[in-house]
Amino acid sequence: MASNKDRDLLAHVGPGTPMGGMLRQYWMPAAKSAEFKADGDPVRLKLLGEELIGFRDSAGRVGVMDHRCPHRCASLFFGRNEEGGLRCVYHGWKFDADGKCLDMANVPPHQDFKHKVHAKAYKTAERNGLVWVFMGDQANVPALPQIEATLVAESDNHIDMFMRECNWLQALEGDLDTSHVGFLHGGHRVVKDYQDDDVARYGVLRRDPEYALAETPWGATYGAYRPAGEGQTYWRIGQFMFPFWSITPSAPFGLQVYARAWVPLDDTHTMSFRIVWREGRMKGVKNETTDPNVALSSGKLLPNTTDWLGRYRLAANKDNDYLIDRDVQCTQTYSGIDGISQQDQCVTESMGSLTDWDFEHLAPSDRMITTMRRRLMGALKSVQDGARPPMADTPEVYYQARGGYFEAPEGIEMMKLYAQKVEETRATIPYAVAAE
């Protein structure tokens, strides 16, 4: 049985921690591309417990670096973003997007040693609306992961973000716990709420699915299955992908390309990056989200502030009990909380900022969670023994991972059935570009 000792090994991500060291060997989403304007305001970012500054220079390049000027440690958040670099307002030292010192304005030319000074900067990349950061060995940078949702053209996908005030691991685990859907999100629903041809109705008929699991190169795959029509099985297939990615079965298989990253800001705050394309609905989705203070999956957001943890905070939060309406809970919905993400936010944050593994009693319905923990623990031990992290050198394998729900003839082994469904539906995703 897992213990808090195991939890602490996996959960803590700051500099010098074992898991922090492993996570730094993966590319991480850090922001939306739209958050940075050429020669615009620097943006405070927090990643893996480090306080960073992001900015876009005059040529459009994004730089992400330690917020401290390497001269006297004054914060570059207050710097001037001008003419190809970020200039510290304390003494005028200027740095480009790679951290190279361009100018020592307060030092006479004959005493200048700017060629010896670098800000602590990290490699960045942009693809389809996301800014990525690599915080590992800057001399050995892998290719970006070929996660299918991130390959969808920016004009056709949707990205939304929100911060969760808890550890990244328990945030991720919420996406791998599929049986809660029939209670937290749909406990009030009955069969007559669904069209006759909507296979999702089987989830209401049986709220206690059985599970098939498989360890995969990208992490682990689960299938929650229930009896469906005569000789048929209703499947909900989802994914864990190293190190903090999930795919949930939130749409019919083949009609959605989806992925979510649970990026650790520090040990007790996590940023959700949700990337999705939906067949026939993307135009409507994008039109519904023209308000920058509304996220597709999370509802109303508070206005961003310039604090380290001031971006993408839900308006329904622990300070107002997630706006729970007890009358609605008694008469209309199971939870009384409006919105799927707000419901998830409530229960996940209510566990505390770091779940007490010594207190919990995991059940057969939690098999995907135990599998994910075991996979992460095994990977961490291998990395500590000198191995490379899973998927760090094979980013193209991510492209094989997809999720969704469907009805299929009973008796077919899950991974065989999964491979068939991927092959059948790959061509139905017109906006997904080929893996690089």
Residue 244, domain member (yes or no):
yes
DSSP string, 253-294: TTSEEEEEEEEEEETTEEEEEEEEEETTTHHHHHHHT-STTE
Residue 153: its pLDDT value, please? 85
Q: What percent of the chain has pLDDT over 90?
A: 79
CB atoms within 10 A of CB 243: 26
Residue 200: its pLDDT value, please? 82
| Structure tokens given for 284 | 């409507």
Q: Angle at Cα 247 formed by Cα 243 and Cα 251, nearest 5°?
A: 175
Last residue of a domain, one of 71, 102, 134: 134
Q: Under DSSP, is residue 64 helix (H, G, I), strand (E, B) or coil?
A: strand
Residue type, 230: E
284 pLDDT more than 70: no
Q: With cut-offs at 50, 70 and 90, classify the pLDDT of residue 30.
A: very high
Determine whether 356 is exposed, middle or buried from the number of CB atoms within 10 Å of its CB (0-12, 13-18, 19+): exposed
Min mean pLDDT across 206-210, 380-384, 397-401 is at 206-210
| Structure tokens given for 305 | 């502030």
95: domain CATH number is 2.102.10.10
Same domain, 208 and 273: yes
**Alpha-carbon distance 93 to 85, whole Å?**
10
Cis, peptide link before residue 15, omega less than 30° from 0: no
* Backbone dihedral angles phi then psi of residue 37, each to the nearest 5 degrees: -110, 140
**Alpha-carbon distance 171 to 165, whole Å?**
9
Residue type, 229: G
**Alpha-carbon distance 11 to 114, whole Å?**
39
Place of tokens 């959700």: 272
Residue 412, domain member (yes or no):
yes
Last residue of a domain, one of 108, 134, 160: 134
Q: What percent of the chain has pLDDT over 70?
A: 93
Which is higher by pLDDT, 379 or 197? 379
Q: Which of 106-115, 199-208, 274-283 has the highest mean pLDDT?
A: 106-115
**Alpha-carbon distance 222 to 173, whole Å?**
13
Same domain, 307 and 350: yes
Residue 208, domain member (yes or no):
yes
Q: Under DSSP, is residue 193 helix (H, G, I), strand (E, B) or coil?
A: helix
Total domain count for the chain? 2
Residue type, 154: E
Same domain, 129 and 158: no
Report how far apart, in Å, the C-alpha atoms of 254 and of each of 97, 206, 367 are. Answer: 40, 24, 25
279 pLDDT more than 80: no
234: domain CATH number is 3.90.380.10
Residue 162, domain member (yes or no):
yes
Residue type, 371: T
Residue 119, domain member (yes or no):
yes
Residue 290: its pLDDT value, please? 37
Same domain, 252 and 126: no
285 pLDDT more than 70: no
Range of the domain at 99: 27-134
Same domain, 301 and 418: yes
215-235 tens-digit pLDDT: 999 999 999 999 998 899 999
Cβ atoms 153, 128 nearer than 8 A = yes
Residue 386, domain member (yes or no):
yes
198 pLDDT more than 80: yes
**Alpha-carbon distance 271 to 33, whole Å?**
15
Same domain, 336 and 406: yes
DSSP string, 301-318: BPPP-SSTT-SS-BSS-G
Same domain, 33 and 166: no
152-195 tens-digit pLDDT: 888 888 899 999 999 999 999 999 998 888 899 888 988 888 88
Same domain, 104 and 40: yes
Q: With cut-offs at 50, 70 and 90, classify the pLDDT of residue 289.
A: very low
**Alpha-carbon distance 201 to 435, whole Å?**
34
**Alpha-carbon distance 320 to 365, whole Å?**
31
Average pLDDT, the chain: 91
Contacts of 40 (CB under 8 A, 6+ apart): 55, 56, 81
**Alpha-carbon distance 135 to 46, whole Å?**
12
Place of tokens 């209510």: 350
**Alpha-carbon distance 203 to 224, whole Å?**
10
Residue 434: its pLDDT value, please? 53
Same domain, 122 and 153: no
376 pLDDT more than 50: yes
Residue 319, domain member (yes or no):
yes
Residue 371, domain member (yes or no):
yes
Same domain, 120 and 152: no
323-362 tens-digit pLDDT: 999 999 999 999 999 988 899 999 999 999 999 999 999 9
47-60 tens-digit pLDDT: 999 999 999 999 99
Same domain, 246 and 369: yes
Same domain, 92 and 172: no
Q: C-alpha dihedral over 332, 333, 339, 343, to 10 degrees?
A: 150
Last residue of a domain, one of 84, 108, 134: 134
Mean pLDDT along residues 27-35? 97
